[in-house]
Amino acid sequence: MPLTPRLGRPHFDPSYGITGDPEGASWPATEQKLAAARNYWVATTRAGGAPHAKPVWGLWQDGALWFGSAANSVTGRNLARDPRISVHLESGDDVVILEGRVELTIPPREVMTASNRKYAMPEEHEAEGAAWYRLTPTTALTWRETDFLRTVAHWTFD
């Protein structure tokens, strides 16, 4: 069972005016948002240093984000060279950002089954040429745009 991350404030410039402890921050509520999301925006780095972002389908399960991408796609090639990644949910109003390193993996059967169920795919569906990645985050940022100064939170995982 994954541990609950440590909660703190992000290191933003003092001009933002962030003071005190985050209010209303809940890792279980964040995990619910991660599990409910349909699309996850992944950001990787190209060989020349330029950013590359795209949405992927994925699954939040057991404290990790599992997602697929073709191994020979820009994302797959970027991750083979540099496994560091940033993942963002679609909302800019209720923000969840994960950061860490992915590992290329073969997902357990229960992850495949849950993913196929989530996206209404046949139970034994496996996309040809797909590589599966597992992100166990090292840090996360969360906030609600309507109350940014009070809700912005930084989560650190051991």
- Decide: 153 and 23 in contact? Cβ < 8 Å: no
According to CATH, the superfamily of the domain at 6-156 is Electron Transport, Fmn-binding Protein; Chain A (2.30.110.10)
- Decide: 116 and 123 in contact? Cβ < 8 Å: yes
Range 40-60 burial, b when 16+ CB lie within 10 A, else e: bebbbbeeeeeeeeeebbbbb
E-strand spans in 26-93? 39-45, 51-61, 64-70, 84-89
1: pLDDT strictly greater than 60? no
Backbone angles phi, psi at 57, to 5 degrees: -85, 145
pTM above 0.85, yes or no: yes
- Decide: 55 and 104 in contact? Cβ < 8 Å: no
DSSP code of 4? P
126: pLDDT strictly greater than 90? no
- Decide: 40 and 102 in contact? Cβ < 8 Å: no
From residue 39, give the alpha-carbon distance in Å to each of 1, 55, 65, 85. Answer: 24, 6, 12, 16
Domain ranges within the chain, ordered by starting residue: 6-156
Over the stretch 56-80, which tens digit does the pLDDT of each residue have? 999 999 999 999 999 999 999 999 9
Q: What percent of the chain stands above pLDDT 70?
A: 94
| Structure confidence at residue 158 (pLDDT) | 84
